[in-house]
């Protein structure tokens, strides 16, 4: 007969990893509380809500793993407060910190309800109150320095310049930008058709002459890049390489080096690296704030700006 101590030992998940990776040939699978929690949210919540949880926990894991805080027992108030301090040192706004903490609190409650831990590890974590957003303009010299970081004569440089131009000149959200389909971009008519998950509707957004020119340049360099074969390592022999054809495997306008659709997280990382070089924090939503503010200062109708 199973004793109480034996049952507790069987149910003890303290030493289990928050994320476990299993590398198979051609694929990597994950297991553990974080993947289980995200799978539940993906099945039950709206796409935007799921992305909020996914981004919060992905950023948490990216911070905890180098610190060696990778097990269920190590996910506690101390680890979360270290993460909170890390976010603030990066210059993350108080509202974003509050959003991240709310997602982590929900994860802590789920850990307890699902039997991973005996008690909610974050029940005493206080969440800062959200504040009214500040709509700041991007200084002109910072914008110029940002665009000067990338070469228009390479595939990735031309792509980044085109994305920055669209963000700057249209006020698109990060998710909207990376999900723009190539077939929905009309360069001759200088128009792009965009779907918003937030309001679940399509809308047409005009492109400026500058944005259109940078998109054309990007498509030129993208074509050159994917029309040339890559030199890939031969399995089992690191010293040998063979030519492999590159290909685009998605319908999105902006693609990664491997031909796959660009993820919102990838765009965030591009802007984080740029921020370090500039000494000025740039993030995708800042372009939206800047665009809306400039429209208001130009005398645009508030109802038009709101729409």
* Cα–Cα dist 156/164, whole Å: 12
| Bridge partners (DSSP) listed for residue 191 | 186, 206
- pTM as predicted: 0.59
The CATH number that domain 140-306 falls under is: 1.10.443.10
Q: What six digits make up the tokens of 13?
A: 């998940």
pLDDT at 4: 42
Helices (H), the chain: 4-11, 33-44, 47-67, 77-89, 94-113, 140-148, 155-170, 174-178, 209-227, 264-278, 284-297, 302-306
* Cα–Cα dist 236/133, whole Å: 54
pLDDT at 192: 95
Nearest alpha-carbon partner for 203 in 211, 212, 195 = 195
Residues 193/202, Cβ–Cβ less than 8 Å: yes
* Cα–Cα dist 285/177, whole Å: 11
Q: What are the residue ranges spanned by the domains of the chain?
A: 4-113, 140-306
Residues whose CB falls within 8 Å of the CB of residue 286, separated by 6 or more in sequence, listed in order: 136, 138
Mean pLDDT by 10 residues, the chain (307 residues): 43 86 81 95 90 93 94 95 93 86 95 93 85 73 96 97 95 92 96 81 91 97 93 69 87 95 92 94 90 81 72
Q: Give the architecture-level CATH label for domain 4-113.
A: Orthogonal Bundle (1.10)
Task: Supply φ then ψ for residue 74, to 5 degrees.
Answer: -85, -5
Give first-to-last CA distance, the chain, whole Å: 66
* Cα–Cα dist 275/290, whole Å: 16
Residues 34/57, Cβ–Cβ less than 8 Å: yes
- Torsion, Cα 27 43 125 57, to 10 degrees, reads 20
């Amino acid at each position: 007969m199973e004793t109480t101590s034996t049952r507790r030992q069987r149910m003890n998940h303290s030493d289990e990893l928050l994320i476990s990776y299993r590398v198979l040939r051609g694929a990597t699978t994950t297991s553990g509380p974080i993947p289980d929690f995200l799978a539940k949210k993906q099945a039950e919540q709206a796409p935007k809500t799921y992305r909020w949880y996914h981004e919060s926990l992905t950023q948490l894991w990216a911070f905890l793993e180098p610190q060696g805080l990778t097990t269920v027992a190590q996910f506690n108030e101390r680890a979360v407060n270290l993460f909170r301090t890390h976010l603030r040192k990066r210059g993350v706004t108080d509202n974003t910190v509050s959003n991240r903490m709310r997602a982590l609190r929900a994860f802590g409650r789920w850990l307890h309800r699902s039997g991973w831990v005996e008690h909610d590890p974050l029940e005493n974590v206080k969440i800062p109150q959200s504040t009214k957003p500040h709509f700041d303009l991007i200084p002109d010299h910072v914008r110029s320095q940002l665009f000067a970081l990338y070469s228009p004569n390479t595939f990735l440089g031309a792509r980044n310049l085109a994305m920055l131009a669209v963000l700057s000149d249209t006020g698109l959200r990060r998710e909207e930008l990376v999900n723009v389909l190539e077939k929905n971009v009309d360069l001759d008519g200088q128009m792009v058709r965009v779907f918003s998950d937030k309001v679940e509707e399509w809308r047409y957004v005009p492109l400026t002459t500058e944005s259109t020119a940078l998109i054309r340049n990007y498509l030129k360099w993208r074509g050159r890049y994917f029309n040339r074969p890559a030199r890939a390592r031969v399995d089992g022999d690191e010293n040998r390489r063979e030519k492999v054809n590159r290909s685009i495997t998605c319908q999105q306008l902006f693609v990664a080096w491997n031909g796959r659709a660009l993820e919102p997280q990838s765009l965030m990382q591009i802007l984080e690296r740029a921020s370090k070089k500039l000494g000025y924090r740039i993030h995708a939503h800042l372009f939206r704030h800047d665009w809306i503010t400039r429209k208001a200062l130009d005398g645009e109708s508030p109802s038009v700006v709101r729409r």
